Structure 1
Amino acid sequence: MASVVDVLEERGFLKQFTHEQETRELLEKEKITFYIGFDPTADSLHVGHFIAMMMMAHMQRAGHRPIALVGGGTAMVGDPSGKTDMRKMLTKEEIQHNANCIKEQLSKLIDFSDGKAIMANNADWLLDLNYVDFLREVGVHFSVNRMLTAECFKQRLEKGLSFLEFNYMLMQGYDFLELNRRYGCVMQLGGDDQWSNMLAGADLIRRKEGKPAFAMTCALLTNSEGKKMGKTESGAVWLDKNRMSPYDFYQYWRNVDDADVEKCLALLTFLPMDEVRRLGALQGSEINEAKKVLAYEVTKLIHGEEEAEKAKSAAEALFAGAGDMSNVPTAAVSKDMINSSILDVLVAAKILPSKGEGKRLIQQGGLSVNGEKITDINRLVTEVDFTEGSMLVKRGKKNYNKIIIE
């Protein structure tokens, strides 16, 4: 039977190891406890977190115990990794609410029952730290010269790096040490942008406890051009259906570039790799079959089978002229929006984030109502537009919404 490292490698997850050979041997011989950190600055995870969730799930299926660590303490500081600006600070209540939402989403892929996985919050140990004790215990092991060579700090140094953020690496390193002491956690997994912080934690455990500790990073989800995936014209691809409907989520995956289909199937579904390679090798119009499988499987994982079926049926209704139109994402506006401009109606229905976005869409020829292309940004919506009680709006080539009057 293939080891979990082989599985992760074959599917394209793995990027860097602290100690590759030792890691391979450890995961084959023992069942370990490992952790991945999640930033609770929003009440939903997004596609950027999806690879980490899948990596966790593969590890758990191989018998290893995951810890999902929410950064309730570190969220009060802000992580400089991959950011050119400081993050806003949240209240404890906001962080707790977000952490609860994150656990619910993780539970779709991770089994938290009977101690099979642990949800931890670093606020439990970071918020009560004595600063002088912390400096003596942890600060003494960090070289400022070495920290300044880390990629996460280099970017911020150009704009100015606050001392608050400079502490972040120490705090994340301390998290790993604390999880090692509390739960016997010996490995951290995470995105490749966290490499410097992960190294710091593994090194701290070796220095403080005299024990081995490991880190393994996964690739970030990028397209064939190397750009991060997970952005649409209306923002991030969220995993929460209140932020992004299951239909729009399905459509996002249905419309990925041909070149990205095989990679997404390998990373974001549990389909066997023989099937992934078969689907990824399809050419021409046949690749659409692979995209339908990708969209269905990913939507089923995040939103459940029922929502995946609804999204699939809605897509078929719109594109093949068959199926059930009742599953097309529907928004309601109040009756007093009749005789308002199309842009006002679309913003009120939360189909567009702003009128500026709508103007750009119209100028690019990308907006139509009931099959009629909109060319006038002042076009009014009248009762005539609501045939059989609803109006069908199309954005771009493949994004549909129904609007009804409340």
Structure 2
Amino acid sequence: MKKNIIDELSWRGLITNKVPGVEKELKKRTTIYLGFDPTSDSLHLGSLLPIIILIHFQKMGHKLLVIIGGATGMIGDPSERKNQRLFLNQETIQKNIESIKKQLSKLLGFYSVEFELLNNINWIKKISLLEFIRNVGKHITVNNMISKDSVKKRINHGMSFTELTYSLIQGYDFLYLNMKKNCLLQVGGSDQWGNIITGIEIIRKETGKKAYGITFPLITKSNGVKFGKSEKGENIWLDEKRTSPFLFYQFWMNISDTEIENFIKIYTFYSKESIEKYILKHRENPEKRSLQKKVASEIIKWIHGKKVYKKVIEITNILFCKKYIDKKLFTLDERKLFSIYENIPHLLVSHKELKKGIFLLDLLKKVNFFSSKNKANKALKANSIFINKKSIKKNILIQEKDMIRKKYILFQFGKKNFFIVKFE
């Protein structure tokens, strides 16, 4: 191995727990596994962290197994959850699996990462209930299971037997991969530590072998919100149909200066020397947000491609640069306008509604730009509402002459909130 993978991950802040002796094991080529449950049809920003860690391991020469939980996805991991997950049907799980496969192949393929993709339903379905509870369940005591943090947090509020078995099934995955693929290390989020230890214990008791585990942190922002969630609590998805590339870019641009110094270590592959240089440059002129731009650029090019990144920068310039005011905004061609429409919150409205004109507050109510007409009225009085980048101070009647290319109206509230209406 060219470098010590533990040292590399540690300085980046990517290790919370590790089983003693793992450093020695990782001095030679090791088979590592990491799993994803298909609870959605898209991965999100939180899912990106384990993918980044896999890439670090692959760069160090280790062999990767990526497991999609067709079996565990039917139960749902109870870790970090207040209530039991809603069960997904097999058709939905299969669709999710196919979507996640494509995303994983694209994301890991970008860095030419070699990996073997497996689905745990293929071995779980072959073991009967009696075999499972006799041959696997015997290795783990109930006392051990209920002592885990993921269980203790839920046990007093009610936890189903189905959820309790999740840890055993994940432990069996590790045993199966150990026996069939000589897998010696499982990697997962810090909430998976108990499940990983269960697998290690099952392997030890069943085979006498020593296995290992490493966990990475569940990243949160300074306000305690899990990283990857928007201000509204919605996930920042990797699928552009669920989170537009523009909103994805803005998420990174709005991260605080303190946090971005941490995230450039976590979410990019720059060397320690390069990162220290970028941080010093950023601190000289933090108002230029060079660090946020650097991270946003790297990640968007990775996830969405260079062409999409150029389009996002174009949209950002139009929305935020002062030169696109008055007549300049009205000279935008249809391609650029439609690109804005695709990437920011929008609504399609019938052109018929403009025959007699429509008052601003009524249109704002229709697009749900504000939670109530009263709040919209207050924003008007505070000069916080803009139409086509012009400040609006009263409830005007909007007509065709107010539209860009006789089709679009761009709304803005404050500095960062945009909404576009298209009339057809």
**Superposition deviation, residue 108 in structure 1:** 3.1
| Deviation string, structure 1 residues 256-282 (Cα, Å, up to 9, x no partner) | 011111111111112222222222333
Partner of 1:27: 26
Partner of 2:220: 222
Partner of 2:363: 342
Which amino acid in 2 is paired with 1:279? Answer: Y
Which amino acid in 2 is paired with 1:383? Answer: E
Q: Structure 2 regions of 5+ residues with no counterpart? A: 325-331
Determine whether 1:8 maps to 2:9: yes
Give the Cα separation in 1 of the matches to 2:266 and 2:113. Answer: 26
Give the Cα separation in 2 of the matches to 1:337 and 1:251. Answer: 32
> What SS does the aligned partner of 1:224 have?
coil
Match of 1:149 among 147, 167, 173: 147
Partner of 1:184: 182
Partner of 2:404: 387
> What SS does the aligned partner of 1:161 have?
coil
Mean CA deviation greater in 111-120 or 247-256: 111-120
Partner of 2:263: 264
Partner of 2:299: 298
Relative to the length of structure 1, the TM-score reads 0.88
Change (3 A) 1:196 1:334: same
Partner of 1:137: 135
Q: 1:247, 1:329 within 8 Å by CA — same for their partners in 2?
A: no
Give the Cα separation in 1 of the matches to 2:340 and 2:83. Answer: 38
| Deviation string, structure 1 residues 173-230 (Cα, Å, up to 9, x no partner) | 1111112222221111111011100111111111111111111001112223543111
Q: How is 1:41-190 mapped onto 2 (pairs within 5 angstroms)?
A: 41-111=39-109, 116-190=114-188
Partner of 1:333: 348
Partner of 1:40: 38
Q: 1:342, 1:379 within 8 Å by CA — same for their partners in 2?
A: no
Give the Cα separation in 1 of the matches to 2:178 and 2:374. Answer: 54
> What SS does the aligned partner of 1:232 have?
coil
**Superposition deviation, residue 240 in structure 1:** 0.5
Which amino acid in 1 is paired with 2:298? Answer: E
Give the Cα separation in 2 of the matches to 1:357 and 1:295. Answer: 34
| Deviation string, structure 1 residues 291-311 (Cα, Å, up to 9, x no partner) | 111111111111111111221
| Deviation string, structure 1 residues 17-59 (Cα, Å, up to 9, x no partner) | 012xx2112222x222211111211000111111111001111
> What SS does the aligned partner of 2:409 have?
strand
Over the aligned positions, Cα root-mean-square deviation in angstroms equals: 2.9
Give the Cα separation in 1 of the matches to 2:253 and 2:353. Answer: 32
Partner of 2:312: 311
> What SS does the aligned partner of 2:107 have?
coil
Partner of 1:404: 422
| Deviation string, structure 1 residues 359-384 (Cα, Å, up to 9, x no partner) | 768767776432356799x9876534
Give the Cα separation in 2 of the matches to 1:290 and 1:114. Answer: 26
Mean CA deviation greater in 137-146 or 378-387: 378-387
Q: 2:189, 2:216 within 8 Å by CA — same for their partners in 1?
A: yes
Change (3 A) 1:387 1:147: same
Which amino acid in 2 is paired with 1:230? Answer: G
Which amino acid in 1 is paired with 2:39? Answer: T
> What SS does the aligned partner of 1:328 have?
helix
Which amino acid in 1 is paired with 2:367? Answer: L
Q: 1:186, 1:214 within 8 Å by CA — same for their partners in 2?
A: yes
Q: 1:337, 1:345 within 8 Å by CA — same for their partners in 2?
A: no
Q: 2:229, 2:236 within 8 Å by CA — same for their partners in 1?
A: yes
Give the Cα separation in 2 of the matches to 1:42 and 1:86. Answer: 16
Give the Cα separation in 2 of the matches to 1:265 and 1:243. Answer: 24
Partner of 1:211: 209
Q: 2:3, 2:60 within 8 Å by CA — same for their partners in 1?
A: no
Aligned length: 396
Relative to the length of structure 2, the TM-score reads 0.84
**Superposition deviation, residue 87 in structure 1:** 0.7
Change (3 A) 1:43 1:122: same
Give the Cα separation in 2 of the matches to 1:166 and 1:215. Answer: 21
> What SS does the aligned partner of 2:106 have?
coil
Which amino acid in 1 is paired with 2:56? Answer: H
**Superposition deviation, residue 157 in structure 1:** 1.4
Change (3 A) 1:329 1:297: farther
Give the Cα separation in 2 of the matches to 1:111 and 1:344. Answer: 45
Partner of 2:389: 371
> What SS does the aligned partner of 2:289 have?
helix
Q: 1:77, 1:164 within 8 Å by CA — same for their partners in 2?
A: yes
**Superposition deviation, residue 73 in structure 1:** 0.9
Q: Structure 1 regions of 5+ residues with no counterpart? A: none
